[in-house]
Amino acid sequence: MNRPRRHIVRPALFAALLVLAGLSLLSACGGSPPVYVQQYLLAYAPPAPAGVKVLPAAIKVERFGALPQFTTQRMLYLPDSYQVGYYANHRWQGYPSDMVAGLLARDLADSGRFSAVFGPASPQMPRFVVEGGLVKFWEDDRAGGPAAQLEVVITLLDIQQGETVKRVMFQNKYQATRDMAAKKAQNLAQSLSQAMAQISPRVAKDVYQAVAQRLTKGEPPLEKPTP
């Protein structure tokens, strides 16, 4: 009776097979090292208290909207007309519109101009509401060097008014451009932070003046909302 022959794998051959299996696995997975994505945010010191009379009014900053190209965490730049690029492996920590709205709410609260300021996450709905839309939030390389551009449209509403037209207290455009020291993602974050620090006090001043003027008129008459 013939016995089945045993196949003996030598240690050297076994090691070679392990190496080949490992190479095959790396090849199947792409064989690339892990990619680490660096995240950035807007950061600047909050403004000092304005030193003005505190208004007996509460403000809420709603979540801002944005043009479609800014509904992403990619860090965008404009290399030429009708072209857009983005920094690979670099991202904003959150959506640009959320960062801008959050910082504006912080700055309004720290300004000491109002009795209370609520951010987008608050369920409170006071009389005065700030809405916004992000128009520019990128690096522009077209005019002789990298520059960070920030532009936002701010709308202040008195929601106690019945008619939509009467609710709008103002709608203003705020913009700022800051040169960048170098074409790098970190410099873009730094320059956009400086642009936001420049815009925020202007918004706070305009909101304060508009609310103060509206309060002198007293409570609005009761009106039926426009259907």
Q: Is residue 58 part of a domain?
A: yes
Q: Which two tokens stand for residue 88?
A: 């690979």
Q: What is the residue range of 138's domain?
A: 39-215
pLDDT digits (tens, 9 = 90+) for 150-185: 999 999 999 999 899 999 999 999 999 999 999 999
| Domains: count for the chain | 1
Q: Is residue 23 part of a domain?
A: no
97 sits in the region (left: phi over 0; alpha: psi -120 to 50; else beta) called: alpha
Query: What CATH number has the domain bearing residue 163?
Result: 3.40.50.10610
pTM of the model: 0.82
pLDDT digits (tens, 9 = 90+) for 9-50: 444 443 443 333 443 444 445 556 787 899 999 999 998 888
